[in-house]
Amino acid sequence: MTTQTAARACGIDFGTSNSTVGWLHPGHDTLLSLEDGKITLPSVVFFNYEEDHSRFGRAALAEYMDGYDGRLMRSLKSLLGSSLIDGQTEVQGKALPFRYLLKLFIQELKLRAEAGAGRAFEQVVLGRPVQFVDDNPQADRLAEDTLADIARQVGFKDISFQLEPIAAAFDYEAGVDKEELALIVDIGGGTSDFTLIRLSPERRARDERRDDILATGGVHIGGTDFDRQLSLHGVMPLFGFKTRLRNNAEMPSSQYFNLATWHTINFAYTRKAWADLQDVHRDAAEPNKLDRLFQLIQQRAGHRLAMDVEAAKIALSDRDRHALALDYIERGLHCELGRGDFETSIAPLLDRVGATVGRLLSDAGLQAGAIDTVFFTGGSSGVPALRDGIRALLPNARHVEGNLFGSIGCGLAIEAKKRYG
């Protein structure tokens, strides 16, 4: 698409793990620099108690890892559509609504985008998953309305939405030289989203594309779910998960699920959670493992462990085994993680992803052989077992990898230019 003047509006991809902002302006890259010359801003806030300030993105993670006393909040997007959205959390003795935390991050994203662009933005196209919440249209609508309300609060006047896989399709289409029937596979931190769409150099000039979109689908499964399964099955047994009490009952699992899920890690640090653990410790058949869990919680090292698990997941995309060092919990403690075990742990999730793709083909009335291209985007789309599953479903389609963290932001910028000039 040819642009002679800078667009009035930007496109924001507020992601579970990372966020980007796209803006079409001639002679410049579409994605704006958001932190230290990088196009992504990790969707993280850290409240530093010692220095009484808040940090965002990589700076937030760095201060947390440097050991400052404070509160780390990550995976904020996962709050949208959940029962937690109307709740609050304690930060330095104050109760902060989760809606406020979302506003804080979106506001920072807007400010950084405007600093990078050298101008203010009042119009925006926001990306959204095909489904914020599976099989619950009312909750899904509430999630979108919540995000729109927050966008208004931070200063946007004209707000619209585009499905994230459709935005990724528009980014891919900018480089095609012939007509293709493409399956867009967007595997983000919180959701897996898909679009079947006809793309071509001629079609991309059209403002109205509804006839080109054959089907969309999504499921609330993403990279953070892969992290959770790897943590629960590969790491948490070292801390007592699935061990027994003296009466042969299984150790209560809620603490482990909280620690393995990004947006609930802080729940493991409450007084009630600590009291419950102390009660169960007396009856633990393997108290040494509970001692490790106590150490993990006393150090408030849940986010550090989750980051280590996430790094292990990424490493297992390239190699068969990964050694996870846990010396900060206990000297010499480590965990050997294998790709095969990881793939076994996420197999039920991948089955649901595959079923969603199958329904997409059925909804469009297409056979697998009709798909020319599978376009992958999203930071979690590189998991080999996931790609193998898609390949098995669509054996004749060629695979193309886009900018895993930038395709959606670029596509939203294209849409913003079309909608707002």
pLDDT-derived band at 207, boundaries 50, 70, 90 = confident
pLDDT at position 134 is: 87
pLDDT at 2 over 80: no
Instruction: Compute CA distances 387 → 11, 198, 314, whole Å.
Output: 28, 22, 14
Which residues face 409 on adjacent strands?
A: none
- pTM of whole model > 0.85? yes
Residues 6+ apart with CB under 8 A from 289: 237, 238, 239, 240, 243
| Helical packing angle, 137-153 and 98-117, nearest 10° | 50
| Cα four-point dihedral sign 82, 84, 85, 86 | positive
Dump pLDDT digits (tens) for 86-103.
Answer: 999 888 889 999 999 999
Write down the architecture of domain 10-178+403-420 according to CATH: 2-Layer Sandwich (3.30)
The residue length of the chain stands at 421
With a pLDDT cut of 70, the percent of the chain lying above it is 99
pLDDT-derived band at 71, boundaries 50, 70, 90 = very high
Question: Exposure pattern of 164-181 as b/e (b: 16+ CB <10 Å)?
Answer: bbbbbbbbbbeebeeebb
| Interval 344-370 mean pLDDT | 96
- Rounded Cα–Cα distance for residues 374 and 376 (Å): 6
pLDDT at position 90 is: 87
pLDDT at position 135 is: 86
pLDDT at 356 over 90: yes
pLDDT at position 150 is: 98
Strands (E), 213-267: 213-219
Element (H, E) at 323: strand 321-325
Contact 182/373 with Cβ under 8 angstroms? yes
DSSP designation for 338 = E
Domain ranges of the chain: 10-178+403-420, 224-343
- Rounded Cα–Cα distance for residues 38 and 263 (Å): 24
Dump pLDDT digits (tens) for 95-138.
Answer: 999 999 999 999 999 999 999 999 999 999 999 999 998 889 99
How are beta strands 70-74 and 44-48 bridged, if at all? antiparallel
pLDDT at position 329 is: 96
Q: How many Cβ atoms from other residues are within 10 Å of residue 246's Cβ?
A: 9
Contact 212/203 with Cβ under 8 angstroms? yes
pLDDT-derived band at 3, boundaries 50, 70, 90 = very low
- Rounded Cα–Cα distance for residues 50 and 69 (Å): 6
pLDDT at position 205 is: 86
- What one-character-per-residue DSSP string does 125-136 give? EEEE-S-SSTT-
| Per-chain mean pLDDT for the chain | 95
Token pair recorded at residue 352: 């649901």
Cα–Cα nearest to 356, from 408, 405, 393, 404: 393
With a pLDDT cut of 90, the percent of the chain lying above it is 92
Token pair recorded at residue 384: 């080999």
C-alpha 19 chain-centroid distance: 9
- Rounded Cα–Cα distance for residues 46 and 180 (Å): 44
- Rounded Cα–Cα distance for residues 295 and 289 (Å): 10
pLDDT at position 93 is: 86
Contact 44/60 with Cβ under 8 angstroms? yes
pLDDT at 1 over 60: no
| Interval 398-421 mean pLDDT | 95
pLDDT at 198 over 80: yes
Dump pLDDT digits (tens) for 235-278.
Answer: 999 999 999 999 999 999 999 999 999 989 999 999 999 999 99
| Interval 6-27 mean pLDDT | 96
pLDDT at 388 over 70: yes
DSSP designation for 184 = E
